[in-house]
Each structure stands twice: as C-alpha cells, then as structure tokens.
Structure 1
C-alpha cells in the first residue's frame, strides 16, 4: 500500500512494523520517523487507527485472562520463526495454540480417567 506521495519512510516499512510501533517496541528514533510518516500519510494513519482500535478492543475484552507461560512462549517462538522466514504457518498461531492446549487437556484427562471412575462409583 502506498498513498503515492514520496515519504522519507516508505509505507510498506511502516506497515511491516506497525505493531512494534503501536507497542512501543522500537527505538525512539524509529518511533519518531513513523510518527512523522503517519502524520503525513492518510492511508497509513487510517490503518494505524484501525489497528489501535482493534488492540484496545482485544485488551478490553481479553485483557483480564492470564495466559499460561508455556503457551505464550510457544506463540512468541512461532511468531519469531515466521518473521525470520524460517517457517510458513500451516495453521494460524492461534489455531496451533488451541490445538496444543486441547491435546494437553486430553492427555491430562486420559491420565486421570481411572481415578475419576473409581471416585464416581
């Protein structure tokens, strides 16, 4: 995406690093460049506003749930592999995380199975 106007920082660079910018996970100098670009470029400003709104909505709706440490580590590791181009997602990160969590839950239930039966009898 590009607005067609020349900018010091290209639209594609801004959009590739938009979440880092939103989360303030980039150096101050880079943040300043992105702020200038977003102030000048209405398509990028629109995308920024949309992503900011989605982030606020997710925080409001889901921000109170604790994420298991191992799940967070798996998701972050997968994101890093995809960013580095070392992995292509066969499933979304969320789908994989849910599948992993369901498998762990099924394993826990199957190992507790005989004990439950004797308790309920």
Structure 2
C-alpha cells in the first residue's frame, strides 16, 4: 500500500509493523519514525486506527483467560528438558498479544508459538 506521497518510511513498511507499534515492542528510534509517518499519512493513520480498535476488541473479548493446565504442564516439562533444572515454576496467561487471527506480518512470525 502506498498513499502516493513521499515519506521517509514506506507505507507498506509502516503497516507491516503496526502491531509492534501498538504493543510497544519497537525501540524508541523506530517508534518515533512510525509515529512521524502516522502523523503525516492519513491512509496509514486510518489503518492504524482499525488495528487499534481490533486490539481493543480482542482485549475485551479474549483478555484474562488463563492457559489450560495441560499447556502449563507441557511447558514445565519442556523447560526442564531444556534447562536440566529440577523445578521450574511457570505462570502462563493468554493475553491479546497472541495475534494468530490478526493480519499476517513477517516481523511477527518469529514471535508466534505453535503450541
């Protein structure tokens, strides 16, 4: 996507990182660059607003769910195998940062879990 206007950062690049921006997962320099683009590009700001509303909706409808006991047990077992430590306490909470249903982005794919 491009709005046709010249920007320091391309529209498609900004939109591919919009979830990182929403989740405060980018460094300060990148955050400022994305914010600057959103301040001057109405189409990207509009898309950002849609994603922001989607995040809020997900938080309202899916927030606060706890992970199933079986998942916690498997995580503990895996951590034990990996670290070799005797006791591993893991508290898992499913939050809206899990974005499997959100628009795909290569920058997020390395953060997703198949468990």
Q: TM-score, normalised by structure 2?
A: 0.60
Structure 1 residue ranges without an equivalent (≥5): 77-81, 87-92, 98-121
- Structure number with higher relative contact order (C-alpha < 8 Å, ≥ 6 residues apart): 2
TM alignment of 1:97-108, pairs within 5 A: none
Structure 2 residue ranges without an equivalent (≥5): 76-91, 100-104
What per-residue deviation string (whole Å, max 9, x for no partner) do you get for residues 62-84 of structure 1?
Answer: 10211345597xx89xxxxx838
CA distance in 2 between partners of 1:36 and 1:67 (Å): 37
User: Does residue 1:25 correspond to 2:30, yes or no?
Assistant: no
Match of 1:62 in 2: 62
Q: CA deviation at 1:25?
A: 0.3
Please state which structure has a larger fraction of its residues in helix: 1
Q: CA deviation at 1:16?
A: 1.1
Local SS of the residue matching 1:8 = coil
Match of 1:46 in 2: 46
Between structure 1 and structure 2, the one with the greater Rg is: 1
What per-residue deviation string (whole Å, max 9, x for no partner) do you get for residues 2-52 of structure 1?
Answer: 110000011011011111111010100100000000010011001100000
CA distance in 2 between partners of 1:39 and 1:83 (Å): 24
**Matched residue pairs, number?**
82
